[in-house]
Structure 1
């Protein structure tokens, strides 16, 4: 079970790449909408998909996006799944879900694959690999990526709001890429939840 500080420490080298990929994706979505006279609020899913699609290519060029053996993204609809140091990180822009501490944490819904990822089932992120599964939640304000993002370690969930269980919730900011090891060790999550049996 990865603690918050350990997770940030492991992700530290790729934090700038994640922020950059999403920045480039948002810039492309903004440009696409401006050039075509599209209004984001008319179809917010199209805007988010455009941003994700470009961010996926950025992460893929860095060797961080999980792909199938045929070289296609593992998830449909340009789903962002980053694999780094035995961590699988689903990068999501939440639209609804359970509100916890000001952060909207999405539910896995009825999807068995998403439920397995949330519950930390072995092989649930990448078949054949044991990973620690994290959610990285991003938002934007008027087309600019919001910093910090929110890092979450889920432990279960379904389609009902009261089914969500999580280990911890914490920030992931750009500045964490430059923190010293001693500073990383001092990081505390915004929220830590007791697990059954503790």
Structure 2
């Protein structure tokens, strides 16, 4: 089977259900205009279901120890590395990226994953001086809750992942609209 010809429906990762709105977005190869497939679009109710699932998962994910969350990021970086050729091919077909741009973006994503893993293990509770007289800044690691990410189109992997990965590693559930 050619991995480049397989298009799967977008799935709600918490319920593992494909969107049922009946609307779909056609994906075309930038260079040729050929159809690559389609992605089913989520309805407002399905987005609300994803948000509810993220809220339900939030406490358990936040309670997961920092080392485990860091290991998830490291494993993700390794998967990006192992699948570089496939990622580059899709970047060219779907986004029109030339190989050097795709290589740069993927390397930046891998670096971001490792930086996010390291972020989870940084000291917490440090106090830094403020530029405002009589004030200090305190850096504390604590989840803030469910994070929503809407990703732009020009560097789709990097601009998505540089928001998603730090949020996840800090203990936040994430709902993303690619």
- Structure having the higher strand fraction is 1
TM-score (norm 1): 0.23
TM-score (norm 2): 0.25
